[in-house]
Amino acid sequence: MTQHAGGFLVLVDDAKSRVRELNVPQTLARQLANPDVVLVDVREDREWNMGFAEGAIHLGKGVIERDVEVAIPNKDAEIILYCGGGFRSALAGDVLQKMGYTNVVSMDGGWRAWTAAGAPVTLP
């Protein structure tokens, strides 16, 4: 498990105070309830290339602000973000809300929780 620097954790905690979170079972339930849910993987390219949650699109945290309005033009779309463990996705969710997206959540536990739960994945 990665050791995170204190300043990073302060930023994450601040973002999490404004961004709703779902766990993996709740995320799977939202996907069943709303087939238009957009599952977004915000991990780095090298992480994405090793596998991703089935049905996800890739908008890495480094480019999400630049590319999201083209990839997801509907600012009311239900968007569930995930990363490796739920920290970067909370930061990305905070930014998307600042950009006017109204229905953004971060998946707590991220990719590690998704795979541990046996949720469907796409591998290279």
Q: Which amino acid is at 70?
A: V
Q: Are 27 and 120 in contact (CB under 8 A)?
A: no
Label residue 123 exposed, middle or buried (CB < 10 Å: 0-12, 13-18, 19+): exposed
> Where in the chain are the domains?
21-119
Q: Determine the straight-line distance between the first and last CA of the chain, rounded to whole angstroms.
A: 23
In CATH terms, the superfamily for domain 21-119 is: Rhodanese-like domain (3.40.250.10)
Q: What is the pLDDT of residues 80-101, one digit of tens each?
A: 999 999 999 999 999 999 999 9
Reported as a pLDDT band with limits 50, 70 and 90, residue 1 is: low
